[in-house]
Amino acid sequence: MSLRALTWAIYDIAPNLTDASAYRILLVLADEADNDGRGVYLSSATIAERTGLSQRTVATKLKELEAMGIIRRGDQNLVAYLPANRRPVVRDLNMTPEARGAKTAPQNTQPEPNPEPADADMQQGCNRGATDMQQGCNMVAHNPLNPYNPFNPREAARETVDADQPSTPTHSAPKPTAGTEAALAVWQPNHEARTLADEAHADLIVEAEKFRCRQLADGKIAKNLDAAFVLWLRRGIEGGYLTPAHHERPSDTRPTKQPTAHRHAWDCQHVQALMTPHEADYDHTRHGWGASDWMLACQAEADRLNREEGLTDPDDEPEHAALAEGDTA
């Protein structure tokens, strides 16, 4: 949305535009235009939906606005990435002084039948002088502390906020020139684009990367990247080809498998490391399938380690007895 374009349509064109339907269409176009009134590529169906008019009426009023010089054809390359059968017409607002004269009221060139006496001329001269003085005071008072703007009154509130902010010296790097690859490299979607993507449930990061690639592929980088990206999102919403945002569902989350704690056995490396220095103290001879004294001593050490580490399972006891009955692991 461009505040400058809307102000132009409301204050410069509306007083001379008597057709209510054409005026509503002009407001919709101004709401989509950039700060210079350019780059509007809304289809007739979209304009009809926003204004409540029929598509036939919209087409007729667009031709009338173009014939009056209020709007004109713009740069059609902005929609070159769209299929030919879905490519709307790009229009610009003719924000020039010539466009303000559309359908102006006829001027009365006949002299007044009853001219006023000389006293009335003197009174008018005094009033005119007082009016000029007041206007001069207003123009002189136009400064950051008194943001009166007779040419664009809607900018006064913004200037007041800027004047209230303390001026702090900054030493940031110079801003890249608009329309260059350097400007595209540092560009990030603004608040309007983020809000639009959230409302459409679109993946803003993916769409921003697609937009950058498209700008580089065309070889012509837009001077107003914010406005161009907002138009990109709006066209994607209308066409239904934006990349949807991925929101992780609770079912997509899998619990992390915890590692199984090591339970010591008579022949594990931990037990063997402790018992090897005492290996000569035990008999290694096995009697049939039964365990040797060495195996029983190692199992006893394994049970001790398991108890100290809290790994003893009552259902597994007595492991020592099982080993004695002939479990050779």
| 73 secondary structure, DSSP code | E
Question: Does residue 64 carry a pLDDT above 50?
Answer: yes
Considering the domain architecture, whether residues 232 and 276 belong to the same structural domain is answered as: no
Q: How many CB atoms lie within 10 A of CB 94?
A: 20
Residue 247 in domain: no
Higher pLDDT, 110 or 67: 67
Higher pLDDT, 316 or 203: 203
Domain end position, chosen among 100, 121, 152: 100
Nearest to 75 by CA among 31, 34, 118: 34
What integer is the mean pLDDT of 61-77? 91
Query: Coil, strand, or helix at residue 280?
Result: helix
> Residue 16 in contact with residue 26, Cβ under 8 Å?
no
Looking at residue 245, what is its pLDDT?
86
In angstroms, the first-to-last Cα distance of the chain is: 78
Percent of the chain as helix, strand, coil, to the nearest 5 = 55, 5, 40
Distance in angstroms (rounded) separating the CA atoms of residues 317 and 265: 13
Considering the domain architecture, whether residues 220 and 274 belong to the same structural domain is answered as: no
Residue 118 in domain: no
Nearest to 294 by CA among 285, 306, 303: 285
Residues near 41 by beta carbon (within 8 Å), at least 6 away in sequence: 74, 78, 79, 88, 89, 90, 91, 231, 235
pLDDT in tens, 120-137: 455 555 455 555 555 554
Residue 158 in domain: no
Confidence of residue 173 (pLDDT cuts 50, 70, 90): low
Considering the domain architecture, whether residues 19 and 89 belong to the same structural domain is answered as: yes
Considering the domain architecture, whether residues 290 and 213 belong to the same structural domain is answered as: no
Considering the domain architecture, whether residues 301 and 225 belong to the same structural domain is answered as: no
Considering the domain architecture, whether residues 26 and 74 belong to the same structural domain is answered as: yes
Domain end position, chosen among 100, 120, 140: 100
The per-residue pLDDT of the chain, averaged, comes to 75
Domain end position, chosen among 78, 100, 122: 100
Query: Coil, strand, or helix at residue 161?
Result: helix
The burial of 185, by beta-carbon neighbours within 10 Å (0-12 exposed, 13-18 middle, 19 or more buried), is given as exposed
Tokens 């926003």 correspond to: 50
Residue 145 in domain: no
Weakest-pLDDT range from 14-23, 138-147, 189-198, 229-238: 138-147
Residue 153 in domain: no
Looking at residue 323, what is its pLDDT?
57
Residue 124 in domain: no
> Residue 71 in contact with residue 39, Cβ under 8 Å?
no
Confidence of residue 147 (pLDDT cuts 50, 70, 90): very low
Considering the domain architecture, whether residues 297 and 225 belong to the same structural domain is answered as: no
What integer is the mean pLDDT of 161-190? 70
What integer is the mean pLDDT of 246-264? 65
Range of the domain at 215: 181-239
Amino acid letter, 134: Q
Residue 115 in domain: no
Largest interatomic CA distance in the chain: 146
Considering the domain architecture, whether residues 9 and 87 belong to the same structural domain is answered as: yes
Looking at residue 247, what is its pLDDT?
60
| 225-239 vs 191-199: helix crossing angle, rounded to 10 | 10
Considering the domain architecture, whether residues 186 and 234 belong to the same structural domain is answered as: yes
Percent of the chain topping pLDDT 90 = 16
Considering the domain architecture, whether residues 25 and 84 belong to the same structural domain is answered as: yes
Considering the domain architecture, whether residues 210 and 275 belong to the same structural domain is answered as: no
**What CATH number corresponds to the domain at position 95?**
1.10.10.10
Considering the domain architecture, whether residues 21 and 74 belong to the same structural domain is answered as: yes
pLDDT in tens, 80-101: 888 888 889 999 988 877 655 5
The burial of 87, by beta-carbon neighbours within 10 Å (0-12 exposed, 13-18 middle, 19 or more buried), is given as middle
Residue 11 in domain: yes
Percent of the chain topping pLDDT 70 = 67
Query: Coil, strand, or helix at residue 138?
Result: helix
The domain total for the chain is: 3
